[in-house]
Amino acid sequence: QSQELSQVRIDYQAALYALVEDGTKMVCTGRMHTDRVCRFESLCYSTEAEEFVFFHSNSSFMLPSLGSRRFQPALLDLSSVDDHNTQYFNFVELPAAALKFMPKPVFVPDVALIMNRFNPDNLMHVFHDDLLPIFYTMQQFPDLDLDSRLFFMEGWGEGSHFDLYKLMSNKQPLLKEQLKTLGRLLCFTKSYVGLTKITTWYQYGFVQPQGPKANILVSGNEIRHFAKFALGKLNISSDQSTSEDYIVLFSRTINRLIVNEAELLLALAQEFQMKTITVSLEDHTFPDLVRLISNASMLVSMHGAQLVLSLFLPKGATVVELFPYGVNPDHYTPYKTLATLPGMELQYVAWQNKEVANTITYPERPWEQGGIMHLNPNEQENIIKSKEVPRHLCCRNPEWLYRIYQDTKVDVSSLIQVIRGVVKTKPGSRKQKWANGLYPGKVRESRCQASSSEASTTKLSVSWQIPWNLKYLKVRDVKYEVWIQEQGENTYMPYMLSYQNHTFSENIKPSTTYLVWIRCIFNKTLLGPFADVLVCKT
């Protein structure tokens, strides 16, 4: 194992002197512990105490300077999962003079990204909680380049997908457990602590039932940019030109099975006149899976973590997600949300088994695989009789686990029917490309003029110039929205106009002040900003 840190030789005496003289320095971004990432110089970690240490000297600084609010509840979240109380980061403080009495520090010369993985054995969590946030945290801070090193502090072993984490930088990531072998007191020359949450799109249901995050800030463009990076690291060239169209059935082999896979494969091949292949995490290497998915026209799979790999599908492809009996697709949408992010340009289809005769339950399995024998007979009976799992919190709801770990005989004709509801033509043939999605700027030089004579003929003429960026763009449809509000009233009259001037005469009163708001709209949906309000007196 390559745990040796010092590819860079450092002058130990000078480094120690600098640490004692300068102590630790910290500046963070973010206003709350849930949106904070901190940059440190000389942050240390005691492997015996399992605590980070901030050494105070005359040169130290700590921003934000929170006082004891640093513990309410924490300085920051160490994973990308919002405000999870097992993922908090903090440090203890000491005067730098205390170093005299402490173990000799071991300096970490690499720029470090210190964080927690949330659930490294589950592929959805690996991509959504860790890999995407790591990638974009590194994009945010230029000294987190490919020569920086990841430190995983959650305390897990490597996990099933460690190879994926290794793609993120050229240095072997280090686990909390391995830090002990490096020394008793580690000092990170330069480090970043925490992960950006800006790329996450799903909340797992710790405080309210699971669902898309309330304020999604990522689009398909950034997901695909990350996918391109990963493809490059896996040495997969994405040339779709040569290959013939095909459908991928991503099967699970341990649980949540499709029991009539052969029949399903045949039906898909026949209906769409395409080659159909089956893949699984057990039977394919990760690069093979990604290569196959990145050229597929359609991905069909049971609900489950493996579906996160749809982020590698080419634009125009279709994701078909299958749900077992009693599991409402609208309540579990991590993959639907991903597929339908603007700019992902994937089609999404959910199918649910509605036939109780086509489900295979496992009441005798351990509880975490959906067994219910540990419950009292009354509770067991209620679960078995129930037709749909009610909304619930993560993570141990027995009815949810019972239903989600069922196997399913897929009713092929009902499935084809729902796919056909969405995929009218040949799968993979990209629908008409989206408008390029650029927004208008403000309209310019807006003016108004009142022509008031008698009350019945009071008019208000308003004119403006096109947004500055329009002259560089080809836009199919340009409209202007004008709101006219009588000063002091809280309602307004809206108008949708095609030209850069208009004379309003309905409901315009003499000797009145009107506020006029104007914005440009491209292609019906791309709403620009309002220009500064115009104040018009009749």
Residues that bind ligand UDP (CB under 6 A): 122-124, 252-255, 281, 304-306
Per-residue tokens: 229: 């990076």
Q: Which is nearer to ligand UDP, 209 or 343 (CB)?
A: 209
DSSP tally for the chain: helices H, then strands E = 12, 29
Q: Which is nearer to ligand UDP, 271 or 321 (CB)?
A: 321
User: What is the distance between the alpha carbons of residues 345 and 330, in angstroms, rounded to a whole number?
Assistant: 20
Smallest separation, CB 363 to ligand UDP (Å)? 17
Q: Which is nearer to ligand UDP, 205 or 304 (CB)?
A: 304
Smallest separation, CB 203 to ligand UDP (Å)? 15
Smallest separation, CB 469 to ligand UDP (Å)? 43
For the chain, the residue count is 538
Q: Which is nearer to ligand UDP, 252 or 291 (CB)?
A: 252
Cα 111 to chain centroid distance, Å, stands at 25
Encode burial over 456-475: b for 16+ CB neighbours within 10 A, e otherwise. eebebebbbebbebbeeeeb
Smallest separation, CB 417 to ligand UDP (Å)? 26
| Residue 127 DSSP code | I
Smallest separation, CB 305 to ligand UDP (Å)? 4
Smallest separation, CB 85 to ligand UDP (Å)? 22
| Residue 233 DSSP code | H
Q: Which is nearer to ligand UDP, 253 or 507 (CB)?
A: 253
Contact in structure between 443 and 464 (CB atoms under 8 Å): yes
Please name the residue ranges forming H helices in 141-211: 162-166, 176-179
Cβ neighbours, 10 Å, residue 241:
4
Please provide residue 432's backbone torsions phi and psi, each rounded to the nearest 5 degrees.
Answer: -50, 135
Q: Which is nearer to ligand UDP, 60 or 353 (CB)?
A: 353
Q: What residues does 150 pair with on adjacent strands?
A: 113
Contact in structure between 498 and 479 (CB atoms under 8 Å): yes
Q: Which is nearer to ligand UDP, 229 or 286 (CB)?
A: 286
Task: Give the side-chain half-sphere CA count within 13 A for 378.
Answer: 0
Smallest separation, CB 334 to ligand UDP (Å)? 8
